[in-house]
Amino acid sequence: MPRLLSALRRQPVDRPPVWIMRQAGRFLPEYRATREQAGSFVELCRSPRLAAEVTLQPIRRFGLDGAIIFSDILLPLAPLGVHFEFTDGGGPHLAQPLDDPRSWQRLSPPPAWAGTEFVAEALGLVRSSLPEEVAVIGFCGAPWTLACYLVEGRTSRDHAATKAALYAHPAEFRALLDALADAMAAYLGQQVAAGAQAVQVFDSWAGTLSAADYRRHVVPALARLLNAVPTVPRIVYVGGGGHLTPVLAPLACEAVSVDWRCPLAVAAASLPGKAIQGNLDPAVLLSSPGAIRSATAAMLDAAPTVGYVANLGHGILPATPVENVEAFLDVIRGRT
């Protein structure tokens, strides 16, 4: 079994498996070349051949333990009638944010699996190109994080509009989260059928809510999504979610991915029976190989001995030098 899947199932491994969030991205010259060829970011995602190619690039260069399919959390919202634009450097943008309950009710659930076939096709290409020991990872956005993008229409620092909508209309907001959970469950089902061997649910903005509000308003929809995923290990990424780990403990997932603000030992202690993934600060990879080696060794020293997947605490930054990634990986691969 690929060591990534063994670790997610808390089985013994020869060394910690490692992959990197946003590993197919702008820090790689070969990604920038394929992106140029594709025209736009969305065209790159929607071309199964090119999406498969950029998914494989970091595996060829670094020999990672997992290949995360190249796409974006906002693309499977298109079949629901929501079309984000991706502006260069400016991030995703929605011309008409969905900031009131009436606009949420207009979201139309697609017929099962329609409108994201390009992701399934790319997954098939990736699985058939990889050796057995590299696991293919599918992903989606968590209902809360997707709702943040729908309501704000772009990346936000404080999510004031989303929180205002939640506190003003809790029942309708909860229905929105449930609708997103159902759509993402179908989408992950499609990815598993196409070859994904593990899935990660990105709740990048989990940390903006208190533990009490996250438990009350968000966890039911997250549980609904996780309960509907068929038979593969489920990883939940919680950005800024150090205070949320006790709330995540009852969820049906095999692993929780935390960032650098949440000590690995704290995560492991509050999530009995789950694997832990993370959590080096991506900014450390902008420093020097020496500083990276000692920070990575410290991360491994703090990690649980069973059920651990090495990763960053968030996506790798576009300015990261490739040799700094090598330093990070060398330390992890040196550990037995």
Q: What's the rounded Cα separation, in Å, for the pair 45 and 84?
A: 13
Task: Kindly state whether residue 155 participates in binding ligand CP3, applying the rule CB under 6 A.
Answer: yes
- From the candidates 3, 31, 35, 234, give the one annotated as an active-site residue: 35
What residues between 163 and 202 interact with ligand CP3 by CB under 6 A?
202
Q: Indicate if 330 belongs to the active site.
A: no
> Cβ(296)–Cβ(335) under 8 Å?
no
**Beta-bridge mates of residue 256:** 236, 276
Figure out which of the listed residues 5, 50, 73, 134 binds ligand CP3, where binding follows CB under 6 A.
73
Q: What's the rounded Cα separation, in Å, for the pair 24 and 6?
A: 23
Least separation in angstroms between residue 322's CB and ligand CP3 is 15
Binding mask 229-248 for ligand CP3 (x = CB under 6 A): ----------x---------
**Beta-bridge mates of residue 18:** 310
Figure out which of the listed residues 4, 18, 21, 151 binds ligand CP3, where binding follows CB under 6 A.
21
Least separation in angstroms between residue 19's CB and ligand CP3 is 9
Binding mask 74-103 for ligand CP3 (x = CB under 6 A): x-----------x----xx-----------
Q: What's the rounded Cα separation, in Å, for the pair 289 and 267?
A: 27
Binding mask 23-42 for ligand CP3 (x = CB under 6 A): xxxx--------x-----x-
How many residues sit close enough to ligand CP3 to count as binding (CB under 6 A)? Answer: 22
- From the candidates 31, 46, 149, 234, give the one annotated as an active-site residue: 149
What residues between 207 and 226 interact with ligand CP3 by CB under 6 A?
none
Instruction: Look at the alpha carbons of 27, 30, 32, 38 in this order and tell me if their dihedral is positive or negative.
Output: negative
What is the H or E stretch that residue 285 is in?
A: none
Q: Which residue is nearest to ligand CP3 (CB)?
A: 204
For ligand CP3, give the closer residue by CB, 86 or 118. Answer: 86
> Can the peptide bond before residue 227 be classed as cis, meaning omega within 30 degrees of 0?
no
Q: What's the rounded Cα separation, in Å, for the pair 153 and 199?
A: 26
Instruction: Give the CA diameter of the chain.
Output: 55
Between CA 321 and CA 331, with CA 325 as vertex, the angle to 5 degrees is: 145
Instruction: Look at the alpha carbons of 143, 145, 150, 152 in this order and tell me if their dihedral is positive or negative.
Output: positive
Least separation in angstroms between residue 171's CB and ligand CP3 is 26
Q: What's the rounded Cα separation, in Å, for the pair 202 and 72?
A: 11
What residues between 298 and 317 interact with ligand CP3 by CB under 6 A?
315
Task: Kindly state whether residue 118 participates in binding ligand CP3, applying the rule CB under 6 A.
Answer: no
Least separation in angstroms between residue 309's CB and ligand CP3 is 14
| Catalytic residue positions, numbered | 22, 26, 35, 72, 149
